[in-house]
Amino acid sequence: MATKLPRKDVAIIGLGWTGAILAHELTEQGLDVVAVERGPWRDTATDFNIGYAPDELRYAVRLELFQRPAQSTLTFRNNDAQAALPMRQFGSFLPGNGVGGAGVHWNGQTWRFLPTDFLCRSHLEQRYGASFVPEELSIQDWGVTYEELEPYYDKFEYLAGISGKAGNLDGKIQAGGNPFEGARKREYPLPPMQMTYAPTVFAEAARAVGYHPFPSPSANLSRDYTNPLGIRMGQCTFCGFCERFGCANYSKASPQTAVLPVLMRKSNFTARTECEVVKVNLDRFGQYATGVTYVDSSGTAWEQPADIVLICAFAFNNVHMMLVSGIGQPYDPKTREGTVGRNYAYQTNSSVQLFFDDKIFNPFIASGSLGQTADDFNGDSFDHTGLGFVGGAGINCIPTNGRPISYRPVPPGTPLWGKNWKDATRKNYLRSFQFTSQGSSYAAYANHLDLDPTYKDRLGRPLLRMTFDFPDNDIRMSNWVTDKMEIIAKAMNPRQYVVNRRARPYSSVPYQSTHNTGGAIMGADPKTSAVNKYLQSWDVPNVFVIGASAFPQNAGYNPTGTVGALAYFAADAIINKYIKAPGPLVQS
């Protein structure tokens, strides 16, 4: 039996970006908050120590900061006809672990989704007709609009000190920014970062062929910054150890650099680390959460009663928590009924690698979000009539590093070892770069998350089972955008360029993206969404499920900006609506 602890107002599962933001907002209201985090405590000076933080083997290859499969993993299959098998090591995506979560190891590319992204199905049907969306897709509207989220995007961007240039201020297009973005009320808190050579070459070529490149918005800071909480961060030094690393320089926005120094000083906040929540406890009718049960690292179980439970883990871990706790009806792809596990989506990427003889790019001078983006073919910013697909992709030239265990570009056909490999590696390392497309991933009825019937985690719970393959729609989209990338590549006049297109079947092995979305999606209809627009469970109203798990489908952008906005939007609803009148915030 679990030992019962004193009641708290709020129990938060996971202390990453969303957990830290919610904890800060709710403790400001005087609520007593505990966050339960299954990984270790981490802070900059200790854990991202500048004396040894730039260690590619330890952090980028052996994956020190990430969720360890021994603690928990997923099973995977491409379709229902296969038996799912465990991902014994992570490959295609790398979920974070410990305090800070994915906010520690991210690159910092911080976007707003397009206004039409939030009206995904209704906008497309209105513009192109009711039968335009391919039958395989289960895309939906979000139940919240860009205009509603704008102040919360702003709040997150100022918390994080995003460096960028507005492209649309109150409807007026601004030179130097993204002309396709939704209207923003004010500029980014910091100007764009100093530009390295490869993105400069890319932008010149993209402009020459008629596209509209601009500096990618970045959570790597272009200047020193003091955020609205009074926390100071430092200018990025372009060290090239961003993704998969904690920042030793206080230059990458993270819970550690933007929230925790204030949050941890509050007497009404407690963090419990190395404590893994087993489940959310429900009352005997399953209608109300009574708190959470967790085990500490000795295996001892504890019950933490709480009036509100916030599930703030990584996207698919949120879904797992709901399924093992019995919150909401699991999704069944055969009947297309049920909500939890529905609309799992990902990201549909492609790339072009260029090789030059006459240019030196110094790939090690880099940061995780320093580069240029052409957004001409993202979302529905271009006319899809006659194209045979919906969705789009950002075209990004953001060379994040030159770390040589993983980054050693050579032309195709080069042997993997021996004298010729060595010569080609030496010749091309400084003289090559890559640009990529980051494509939308539109939800399909067949792609979903549920509990695995065979494999268990260390606590005896079923592993989460992922069933996913790229929809044909998304492959058509990615190929079309990749054709546009070839036009840019040719304009740069390289010695050689190599196109890497996205193809089925999806593989869980090579790294692609840690932008896993959906499974506990938000929406206006409790039949097709697990949470309402405030991220409140339709079924258990004192549970909120916060993160990219709420995305009904994924857009052609990195998710963190939208995750941050949703966190602030949910916090606002809890403070100004729920606490005043606990119960469902939207009537089903």
Partner 1 sequence: MADRFSLSPPLGITRRWLLASTAALGAAGLASSALGRTYRGGVLPWEPNDTSPPVPVRPGPWLYFTADEAATIEAMVDRLIPPDDAGPGGKAAGCAVFIDRQLAGAFGDSRRLYMRPPFMPGTAQQGLQSPLVPKERYRATLAALEAYCKATFAGKGFAALEGAQQDQVLTGLEKGEIKLKDADAKVFFTLLLANTMEGFFADPIYGGNRDMAGWKLVGFPGVRYDFRDHVAKHNQPYPLPPVSILGRSDWSVPE
Please report how close the Cβ of residue 314 comes to partner 1 at its closest, in angstroms.
16
Q: How far is the CB of 560 from partner 1 (least distance, A)?
A: 24
Name the token pair of 441: 């991933």
Q: How far apart are CA 38 and CA 66, in angstroms?
A: 12
Q: Hey, what are 416's tokens?
A: 């993997």
Using alpha carbons, select from 294, 211, 248 the residue that is nearest to residue 104: 248
Task: Pick the closer one to partner 1 by CB: 212 or 359.
Answer: 359
Q: Find the Cα–Cα–Cα–Cα dihedral 551, 554, 557, 558, rounded to 10°.
A: 60
Q: Where are the alpha helices (DSSP H) in 117-181?
A: 120-128, 146-160
193 or 555, CB closer to partner 1?
Answer: 193
Alpha carbons 450 and 75: distance in angstroms, whole number? 10
Q: Judge whether 19 and 99 are in contact, CB under 8 Å.
A: no
Helix (H, G, I), strand (E, B) or coil at 31: coil
Sign of CA dihedral 78, 82, 84, 88: negative
CA distances from 92 to 71, 87, 95, 507 (A): 18, 10, 10, 7
- Cα(443)–Cα(434) distance, rounded to whole angstroms? 28
Q: Are 477 and 307 in contact (CB under 8 A)?
A: no
Complex with partner 1: residue 140 or 441, whichever CB lies closer: 441
To the query of whether residue 515 is one of the catalytic residues in this protein, the response is yes
Q: Per the residue annotation, which of 105, 123, 384, 515 is the catalytic one?
A: 515
CB of 576 to partner 1, least distance (A): 24
Strand partners, 311: 13, 545
Question: Which two three-digit tokens encode residue 355?
Answer: 């090789």
- Say if CB 562 and CB 329 are below 8 A apart: no
Tokens coding 418? 């021996």
Shortest separation between residue 68's beta carbon and partner 1, angstroms: 4
| Residue closer to partner 1 (CB basis): 132 or 197 | 197
* Residue 82 C-beta: closest distance to partner 1, Å: 7
Residue closer to partner 1 by CB (options 9, 274) is 274
Q: Which is nearer to partner 1, 65 or 574 (CB)?
A: 65
- Residues with active-site annotation: 515
